[in-house]
Structure 1
Amino acid sequence: MNALPVASAKEVRAHARRIASRHPRGLAGVVAVNALAAATGLAVPWLLGDLVASVARGRNDITHYVLLICLACVTQATLIRFAMYAAAVLGERVLGELRQQFVRDMLALDLNTIENADRGDLVTRTTRDVGTLSTTVRHAIPETLIALLTIAISLGALILISPLLVLPCLVSVPILVAASKWYLARARAGYVRQSASYSHLTEGLTETVEGAHTVEALRLTHRRLERVERDIAESYAAERYTLRLRNVFLPICDTTYVLPVAITLVVGGLFYIHGMVTLAAVTAATLYIQQLLGPVDTLLFWLNELQMSGVALARLLGIAESAPPTAPDTCAPVPHSAGNGNWLAIRDVRYAYRPDVDVLHGIDLDVVKGERLALVGPSGSGKSTLGQLLAGIHRPRTGTITFGGLPLAEMPLEELRGKVAIVGQDHHVFDGSLRDNLVIAKSAATDEEIEAALTAVDAWQWAEPFGLDTRISLHGNALTPAQTQQVALARLVLANPHTLILDEATALLNPHAARQAERSLAAALEGRTVIAIAHRLHTAHDADRIAVLEEGRISELGTHQELLEHGGTYADLWNSWQGHAESLS
């Protein structure tokens, strides 16, 4: 299994700029309303400072100031409400774009990449990372924007009141800059490690749960528990590291942003005594600095979330880096295959999961349009690997595979899926109705077509009482593994590709039901090219030709009767299987 890449910080910043450039008006509106809200908030400290000065002069117009302060508070609250609304609307649009882009990037991934990727990594990116990004877009970014604007406008007002009273604020700047540089230099790596630890933990748990029966049968419980404990220990260590960063950074910041208030009171008092500033200026400046504490605190609070969301966005953008380059719209035909009647032509194909360790060795095979070919052989002989190569999931290390004269590897994915489809042992039921799970293969499918597809795989007998619009649920209307397999086969019938590859596609059905389903499926797919990877040899018996694979090589090729007369590996497998079938009966 391979971990998917993570985008660099530079790529994340570039992507953020692209997002901003796509929403200039929305972003400008959010900034403008937030700026107005922050500017309105400056009125209260100024009015309070003027009130103090007025009282000191012996004037008695408190009611006037109270009314103005109330008006300023109501105006600010209204503007903040509009600002939050505008930010929420913009945030949801951006979040929707990010989600759609992520789904597009996921669907554009090469199937080989998905097959080799850590499932825990994929699950964590689609759940935890998307959730982190959602929190940031909905809450962190709007509140951070408001905080930054409030800080900037408050400092501007402070300079206008008295430039001298800005000096206490400068005391904290070097400390905050040093602490922030220390934190930011370590935070990204820490959160990347933390997210990766979640992926490894999810991967280990998923493997253990899905393979629970195998774990129990092979007495691997202790080993799997050790794996989970190691993953938990790594996740714990990663979280403790980021916690230590916060435990150093946040207390320093809490201390430094309180200092200016105390210093302003002392220095402001001295300036007032010496006649350098007015009492109103000292009062307003102190309140402005006190007012800064809230935005600064908000900024520091969300800084940690922004670091986590930056890593989450980097992991989501990393999916795009794994996507293969867009294939050309047209593929040039290969001369040697043109016009020879071969639907699939395989020439000297070799494949290796690990470098220099081939599992397929120089495969040469021609599949004629409309024929039914069975691939048989011992476990580990390369049958499923060859099937995945023919479906375009993997690319051969050397050699070529052409489809109707066109290189399979160069076909656009959408075109390839319309021509070649594969159904294996692993099936998935999507959240939705039975109809929803079928029409994903053909969105315009009618009820009659759906019924015909289910009938073709012997599923209509249970699907009719179940109901096409009944929601499939793990906790209620759950399908059995055999029914799930039939749904996958029905999708294949609806998709109606030119060539079908069946990799133990009826393995979850009992032998009698499997034979019946295969015969019904064959009738429904009359005229289509079918390549069946067979472990039950009745599938091979019904095929037009049989290819026997041994140790990654085709050792025999012919009809059922020809191979029996040859007396080789297939004959031995058939006789052994027949004896086993008779003993079971």
Structure 2
Amino acid sequence: MLGAVGRRLRPQLPRVIGSLLVLLASAGCGLVMPLVLGVVVDAVTGKVSEHPLIGDGDPWRVLTVLLVALVLGSALNGIGTAWSAGAADRVVASLREDAVGAALTLDQERAEALGSGEVVSRSSDDVAAVTSAVNTALPSAIAAVTGVVVTVAGMAGIHWAFALVLVVVTVPVYAWTVRRYLRQAPPLYRAERAQRAARAGVVLDAVRGGSVVRRFRAEGFGRRRLVVPSWLVSRLVVLTQIATTRLFGGVNLAEFLGLAALLGTTFVLLGTGAVTLGAATTAVLFFLRLYDPIGTALMMLDQLQSAYTSLGRIVALVGIGGDGHREDDAARAVCAPPGPVPAVVVRELDVAYGTRRAVTGVSCEVAPGTNVALVGASGAGKSTVAAVVAGVRTPTRGSVRVAGRDPHALPPAERGRVVALVSQENHVFSATLRENLTLAAPAAADDALWDALRAVGLAAWAGQLREGLDTPVTHEGLGDLRCQLLALARVALLAPDVVVLDEPVSRAARGEAEVLARAVAAVCRERTAITVIHHLDQAARCDRVLVMEGGAVVEDGTHEQLLRRGGRYTELWTASHPEGPGSQSGEPGP
């Protein structure tokens, strides 16, 4: 984690070093007032007649010195704080961008392993915690530390015994307090963050499945699922507050013991004549001045510890996402072999979910421009094969090549131009129609956008919108059919070499299925397509059909060939078309 932060901090080193020097100077200005007051005490008691800083004690000169020290110290503190916060903000901004980028480019396998709540929590709540600490706690802590260093040096300059009191009496108490806190707090913060992520996952599930919950009147089910993570978050928050309260109690104890020891030391030194009354006054004022920076530093430790835990989770997310590919894989992926190659080549593909084998020994080649259907019963492995070909799931064994390149080794932007996946669930952002389309091609002209809409049958509808392409749209406002058609329009704009469609019409109503089927055919025309199909009427229109069962391909051929063969495909067709194995009604089966 420190290495990841260090790489991003390196360009900010001049700003960091400058802020430390300025804050040290500001802390030095803060010592002027106790020093002047000590000199005034000595002047009143006749111990000193003139001082280099205030001369003979002229009130106007004393006031001027104090005013200049106050204004200069405040200005330097502001500059140093701004510089340190600016450097830290830049580091956090870089981490935030990388965290969100990593969350958006996680492959399906890793995203499922983490869970949606964990991904959202790390890229939102944890980033917010780090940002808050950077903007408030970190600058205050840096200023406090520099103030402590300068003040201790000033006390040692008056007499070594004063500094010794700090080292012998207060430092052990502070060290014990901080050590106890660091032993108790980090596990609590990590557990709290994990439970917050679990709670966020439940909320996200409830939002996504809201229609199902309302349909079955199962609101109580959602509330019950929130009880345990919500209660655990509350309990962990209380436990962290207890640890923080103990930290504050240790700070107060150290201050009490330190002041008592300092007063005793002052009494001894005054009795022996080792220091003057003014010097003793200055030392005591220096020590009292330490209350604020030491207390600030230790009290900010709570917020900094919380931010440190969040920072670790963010860096872990960035590490999981990585760069999306390894350099050697990327080099191998973009160097496609010369000459014509099959559009898709799958060799000895195995995919496992934990200990369960979902796909076993699948091998096939798909020629360019071919539309291949993957059919079979639920759980046969169709969607898994499609996800591996699209590069969103990593195979356990075997290899996949799309246009001669490994889709898993390509950067996400490059992969999208090679192979595009259209799943059953497609999202429309609350933005304009133009913005939703140009997600696939940011530089696309209006003519290209209208061509894409025309290809999927949305041009007439879009032409009736009051603001045309600049009309705001939402997922709920468009409905499932138009959302799916809009996703297909994005594919038409992207124009990938290969399109992978995962049951594009399985959720459509009987009247909508044909509309979607025509849009799919238009997008896949003169393009290689692999389609996971539930309704076998759609498979009959494909150039080739692969029948899967138990994670393996058991039949391969055209629709007519497989019907004549009388195997597993014929059984599936007969089950969905009781009127006869040779019929093609054009309407989807049940």
Q: TM above 0.5, one fold? A: yes
Structure 2 counterpart of 1:361: 360
* Residue equivalent to 2:19: 30
Task: Give 2:295's aligned residue.
Answer: 297
CA drift at 1:146: 0.5
Which moves more between the two structures, 303-312 or 554-563?
554-563
Structure 2: how far apart are the matches of 1:488 and 1:122?
Answer: 24
Residues 215-251 of structure 1: CA distance to partner in whole angstroms, max 9, x if unpaired? Answer: 5677876665444222223323333332232232221
Question: RMSD across aligned C-alpha pairs, in angstroms?
Answer: 3.1
Q: Out of 66-75 and 219-228, give the one that drifted further.
A: 219-228
3-state SS of 2:379 partner: coil
The 3 A distance-change label for structure 1 pair 149 and 275 is same
Contact 1:257 1:296 in 2 (8 A): no
- Is 1:199 the counterpart of 2:197? The answer is yes
Q: Judging changes above 3 Å, is the alpha-carbon distance between structure 1 residues 87 and 431 closer, same or farther for their aligned structure 2 residues?
A: farther
Letter paired with 1:458: G
Q: Does 1:69 align with 2:66?
A: yes
Q: Which residue of 2 aligns with 1:559?
A: 558
Q: Distance in 2 between matches of 1:317 and 1:444?
A: 32
Paired with 1:286 and 1:149, the residues of 2 have a C-alpha distance of 19
Stretch of structure 1 that moved more, 387-396 or 238-247: 238-247
Report the Cα distance in structure 2 between the residues aligned to 1:506 and 1:371, rounded to whole angstroms: 19
1:509 deviates by: 4.4
**1:433 to partner: Cα distance:** 3.0
Q: Is the 8 A contact 2:345 2:365 kept in 1?
A: yes
Gaps spanning 5+ residues in structure 2: where? 50-55, 580-584
Using the TM superposition, name which of 53-62 and 344-353 deviates more.
53-62
Following TM superposition, by how much is the alpha carbon of 1:578 offset from its aligned partner in structure 2, in angstroms? 4.9
Cα distance in 2 for residues equivalent to 1:429 and 1:76: 54
Secondary structure in 2 aligned to 1:480?
helix
Contact persistence 2:351–2:360 (CA under 8 A):
yes
Give the Å deviation of 1:361. Answer: 2.8
Q: 1:334–1:407: 8 Å Cα contact kept in structure 2?
A: no
Structure 1 residue 284, shift from structure 2 partner = 1.3
Counterpart Cα distance in 2 of 1:80 and 1:332: 53
> Does the 8 Å CA contact 2:419/2:499 hold for their aligned counterparts?
yes
Note if contact 1:331-1:411 (Cα within 8 Å) is conserved in structure 2.
Answer: no
Distance in 2 between the 1:240 and 1:27 partners? 35
* Whole-Å separation in 2 of the counterparts to 1:442 and 1:18: 32
Equivalent-residue separation in structure 1 for 2:68 and 2:161 (angstroms): 30
What amino acid does structure 2 have at the position aligned with 1:313?
Answer: L
What TM-score does the superposition give when structure 2 sets the normalisation length?
0.87
What is the Cα deviation at residue 174 of structure 1?
Answer: 0.9
Q: Are 2:119 and 1:122 aligned?
A: yes
- 1:382 is matched with 381
Is the contact made by 2:120 and 2:197 (CA closer than 8 Å) also made in structure 1? yes
Hey, what does 2:139 align to over in structure 1?
Answer: 142
Q: Aligned residue for 1:153?
A: 150
- SS in structure 2 opposite 1:421? strand
- 1:384-434: CA deviations, max 9, x gaps? 111112112223323333334445555555443321110102223345433
SS of equivalent residue, structure 1 residue 375:
strand
Shift in alpha-carbon separation, 1:571–1:407, aligned structure 2, 3 A: same
Which amino acid in structure 1 is aligned with residue 470 of structure 2? D
- In structure 2, do the counterparts of structure 1 residues 444 and 98 end up closer, same or farther at CA, with 3 Å as the change threshold? same
Q: How many residues align?
A: 570
Q: Give 1:328's aligned amino acid.
A: D
Match of 1:259 among 257, 260, 268: 257
Matches within 5 A, 1:53-92: 53-57=42-46, 61-92=58-89
Counterpart amino acid of residue 351 in structure 1: V
Superposed counterparts of 1:321-470, under 5 Å: 321-322=319-320, 323=322, 325-331=326-332, 342-355=342-355, 357-411=356-410, 413-430=412-429, 432-464=431-463, 465=465, 467-470=468-471
The answer for the alignment partner of 1:3 in structure 2 is: none
AA aligned to 2:347 is R
Report the AA paired with residue 354 of structure 2: R
- Distance between the aligned counterparts of 1:127 and 1:202, measured in 2? 11
Larger deviation, residues 464-473 vs 188-197: 464-473
Give, as a single letter, the amino acid of the residue that structure 2 aligns with 1:348: E
Classify 1:513/1:456 alpha carbon distance in 2 versus 1 (closer, same or farther; 3 Å): farther
Partner of 1:208: 206
Does the 8 A contact of 1:548 with 1:556 survive in 2? yes
AA aligned opposite 1:56: T
**Which residue pairs with 2:233 in the alignment?**
235
From 118, 128, 132, the counterpart of 2:129: 132
Identity of counterpart residues, as a percentage?
28
SS of corresponding position for 1:103: helix
Partners of 1:334 and 1:418 in 2: CA distance: 15
75-84 vs 492-501, which deviates more? 75-84
Which residue in 2 is equivalent to 1:307? 305
Of 2, 10, 13, 2:2 maps to 13
Which is further off, 394-403 or 216-225?
Answer: 216-225
Question: Cα gap change, 1:346/1:473 in structure 2, threshold over 3 Å: closer, same or farther?
Answer: closer
* Matched-pair contact (CA < 8 Å) for 2:456–2:522: no
User: 1:490 — aligned with what?
Assistant: 489
- Alpha-carbon distance in 2 for matches of 1:426, 1:480: 12
Bigger shift: 96-105 or 220-229?
220-229
Deviation at 1:155, TM superposition (A): 0.9
Assess if the C-alpha contact under 8 Å between 1:372 and 1:545 holds in 2. Answer: yes
| CA pair 385-463 structure 1, distance change in 2 beyond 3 A | same
8 Å CA contact retained: 1:482, 1:508? no
Q: Which amino acid aligns with 1:76?
A: G
Report the Cα offset of residue 549 of structure 1.
Answer: 2.1
Deviation at 1:295, TM superposition (A): 0.8
In structure 2, how many angstroms separate the alpha carbons of the residues matched to 1:166 and 1:584?
88
Distance 1:368 1:13, change over 3 A: closer
Cα deviations by residue, 1:33-54 (Å, 9 ceiling, x for unpaired): 1111111111111112222333
Match of 1:331, SS?
helix
Does structure 2 retain, via aligned residues, the 8 Å contact 1:391–1:422?
Answer: yes
Higher mean displacement: 192-201 or 164-173: 164-173
> For residues 280 and 461 of structure 1, do their structure 2 counterparts lie closer, same or farther at Cα, with a shift above 3 Å needed?
farther
How far apart in 2 are the matches of 1:583 and 1:306?
Answer: 60
Write out per-residue CA displacement over residues 57-109 of structure 1, whole angstroms, 9 at most, x where no aligned residue: 49873343223212221221222222232223223322222223323444554
Would the aligned equivalents of 2:428 and 2:474 in 1 still touch at CA under 8 Å?
Answer: no
Distance in 2, Cα, partners of 1:527 & 1:67: 85
Closer/same/farther in 2, CA of residues 101 and 259 from structure 1, 3 Å limit:
same
Deviation at 1:540, TM superposition (A): 1.6
| 1:257 CA drift (Å) | 2.1
Maintained 8 Å contact 2:192/2:237: yes
State the distance in 2 between where 1:380 and 1:544 align: 24
2: distance between equivalents of 1:328 and 1:557?
Answer: 31
C-alpha separation in 1, matches of 2:405 and 2:555: 27
Aligned to 2:582: none
**Residue 172 of structure 1 contacts residue 256 of structure 1 at CA under 8 Å; is this kept in 2?**
yes
